[in-house]
Amino acid sequence: MKFDFIECSEPVEIEGVRLAVANAGIRGRSRNDVVLVELVPGAQTAAVFTQNKFCAAPVIVARENIAARQPKFLVFNSGNANAGTGTLGIEHARKVICGLADIQGCSSAEIMPFSTGVIGERLNYKKIIDAFPKLIQSLAADRWEDAAQAIMTTDLVAKYFSLETKVGDESYRVSGIAKGSGMIHPNMATMLAFIATDANIDQAHVQLILADCVNQSFNRISVDGDTSTNDACVLTATGKRKNNSQLTPAHPHWSIVVEGISKVFESLAKSIVKDGEGATKFIEIIVESKCEEDSLAIATTVAQSPLVKTAFFASDPNWGRILAAIGRAPVAEMNIHKVSFWLDDYQIVRNGEPVPTYEESRAAAIMAQAEIVVRIALDQGEAKVCLWTCDLSYDYVRINAEYRT
Q: Of 119, 160, 146, which is closest to residue 275 (Cα–Cα)?
A: 160
pLDDT at 314: 94
Based on the domain organization, do 210 and 321 belong to the same domain? no
Check which CATH number belongs to the domain holding 261 and give it.
3.60.70.12
Number of domains in the chain: 2
The residues, any chain, with a CB within 8 Å of residue 337's CB and separated by 6 or more, are 351, 352
Of 250, 274, 298, the residue that ends a domain is 274
Q: pTM for the full model?
A: 0.90
Based on the domain organization, do 198 and 321 belong to the same domain? no
Q: How many CB atoms are located within 10 Å of the residue 156 CB?
A: 13
Residues lower than pLDDT 50 in the chain: 182-186, 188-189
pLDDT at 276: 66
Based on the domain organization, do 291 and 269 belong to the same domain? no
DSSP secondary structure, 28-43, as one string:
-SSS--EEEEEE-TT-
pLDDT at 231: 87
User: In the Cβ-directed half-sphere of 122, how many Cα atoms lie within 13 Å?
Assistant: 9
Of 245, 274, 303, the residue that ends a domain is 274
3-class SS of residue 353: strand
Q: Bridge partners of 385?
A: 287
pLDDT at 222: 80
Check which CATH number belongs to the domain holding 379 and give it.
3.10.20.340
| CA separation for the pair 276, 395 (Å, rounded) | 10
pLDDT at 226: 57
Based on the domain organization, do 55 and 178 belong to the same domain? yes
Of 274, 308, 334, the residue that ends a domain is 274
| CA separation for the pair 299, 296 (Å, rounded) | 5
Cα torsion through 97, 101, 107, 112, rounded to 10: -30
Based on the domain organization, do 125 and 185 belong to the same domain? yes
Burial class (CB in 10 A: 0-12, 13-18, 19+), 345: exposed
* Residues annotated as part of the active site: 190
Cα-Cα-Cα-Cα dihedral sign, residues 113, 116, 118, 124: negative
3-class SS of residue 277: coil
| CA separation for the pair 403, 190 (Å, rounded) | 14
Boundaries of domain holding 256:
3-274
Beta strand extents in 126-189 (DSSP E only): 159-167, 170-179
